[in-house]
Amino acid sequence: MTAFGFTKLQDTTFRSLTSSLNPDIIVGLGDIPYGHYKVSYKKIDKITNRTAKWMQAHVDERAAAKKEQGSGLPLLYAPLLPISAESQRYYIEHLEDMVQDIQGLALYNTITLEDLPEQLKALPRLGLTEPNNPRAMLQDVSQGIDILTLPFLSAITDAGVALDFRFPISGPMPDELLPLGVNMWETKHAIDVSPLRKDCPCYSCTNHHRAFLQHLLSAKEMLAWVLLQIHNHQIMDEFFAGIRESISRGTLEQDIADFERFYEPELPESNGYQFKSEGPNERKRNSAPFTVYKANPDKIAERGSVPVPGPDAVAEDLEKVGFAEKTE
């Protein structure tokens, strides 16, 4: 997508742009069948041939650039198509031939890992599977994903949810599964001066409390989502630190099972004002903050008979019209 609409991206343009941007990791261009769970054999032949051709051209171009620049090139991760390794055997064999020129693999579906050749198993794996909750993340890790992309983190922050979970878990199993987060739109937080999560060391929890954040959300202040994002990233940092600790102890499988018995499977339902509908005829999650003028003529008539205080009004004038009560 460009400023002038949609246009087809040529593989030469893709390589040129990624070289100019100089990111940490470049995921090679792949003919990924997005949204298609079943791919025909004829289609598989086309996408594997095309992806193999693009990867070979990318590797050759980087080899020439390496001779000129020396070191300092971004890491190149080869995309694996979201089908079994056996189904994309032609492309996999090409990757085995260029294994010295790629630094990792990018996966769109963990099914590809089931029959991956030994020569490619040692490469780091970037997951583009987009897990939508901590359980899905743990399942991806258990299947061999090393780096995860987490678009749900921004989505849950936009929804006004503060994450609240730990891994590995500690303490006895609860009678009921605990929620993975707190919906900060709930009015009960308006008078709660506790942190978003007890003992959380993040800036939001050490400097502010739930009542302040709930006020910011109600006022639609951008600071609300900034503080939530800071907190949620802290929870996620601790989550990954716990995963690394669990792997080093060799208890990942048991820790995942305990986590699933401790917390609810899904994140709290989104119902913030930024919530986006997902289909037709879907009921509104929130009542409208404003109503149409003259929607209640009785109230308008009642208010119309009350004089509006001017800029020179004093406290007594405001008290007379019921705006406020004066306190001594």
Domain limits, the chain: 1-128, 156-271
Sequential DSSP letters for 131-172: --SHHHHHHHHHTT--EE--HHHHHHHHTTEEE---SS--SP
pLDDT value at residue 270: 63
b/e string for 245-284 if b means 16 or more Cβ within 10 A? ebeeeeebeebbebbbebbbeebbebbbeebeeeeeeeee
In the predicted model, what is the mean pLDDT of the chain? 87
pLDDT 10s digits, 230-248: 999 999 999 999 999 999 9
Q: Which of 147, 121, 141, 154 is nearest to 24 (CA)?
A: 147
b/e string for 141-164 if b means 16 or more Cβ within 10 A? beeebeebebebeebbbbbbbbbb
**φ, ψ for residue 120, nearest 5 deg:** -100, -10
pLDDT value at residue 281: 62
% the chain with pLDDT above 90: 65
Query: Other C-beta atoms within 10 Å of 128: how many?
Result: 18
pLDDT 10s digits, 10-46: 999 999 999 889 899 999 999 988 765 578 888 899 9
DSSP letter for 10, please: P
What is the three-class DSSP state of 62?
Answer: helix
**Spatial distance between the Cα atoms of 192 and 183, rounded to a whole number of angstroms:** 13
Residue 104 in tokens: 């990792």
Q: Is the model's pLDDT at 323 over the cut of 80?
A: no
What is the three-class DSSP state of 264?
Answer: coil
Torsion angle in degrees (nearest 10) through CA of 20, 29, 152, 236: -70
pLDDT value at residue 251: 96
Residue 224 in tokens: 């609300």
Amino acid at 82: P
Torsion angle in degrees (nearest 10) through CA of 94, 96, 101, 102: 100
Specify the pTM: 0.78
Residue 113 in tokens: 């890992």
- The residue to which tokens 């794996």 are assigned: 125
pLDDT 10s digits, 62-115: 998 888 876 788 999 999 999 999 999 999 999 999 999 999 999 999 999 988
Query: Other C-beta atoms within 10 Å of 49: how many?
Result: 14
Whole-Å CA distances, 147 to 66, 130, 216, 247: 26, 11, 34, 14
Q: Which of 138, 51, 139 is nearest to 102 (CA)?
A: 51
Q: Which of 164, 158, 154, 151 is nearest to 194 (CA)?
A: 164
Q: Is the model's pLDDT at 48 over the cut of 70?
A: yes
CA 135 centroid distance within chain: 14
E strands, the chain, are 25-27, 75-80, 104-107, 125-127, 147-148, 161-163, 181-183
Q: Is the model's pLDDT at 304 over the cut of 90?
A: no
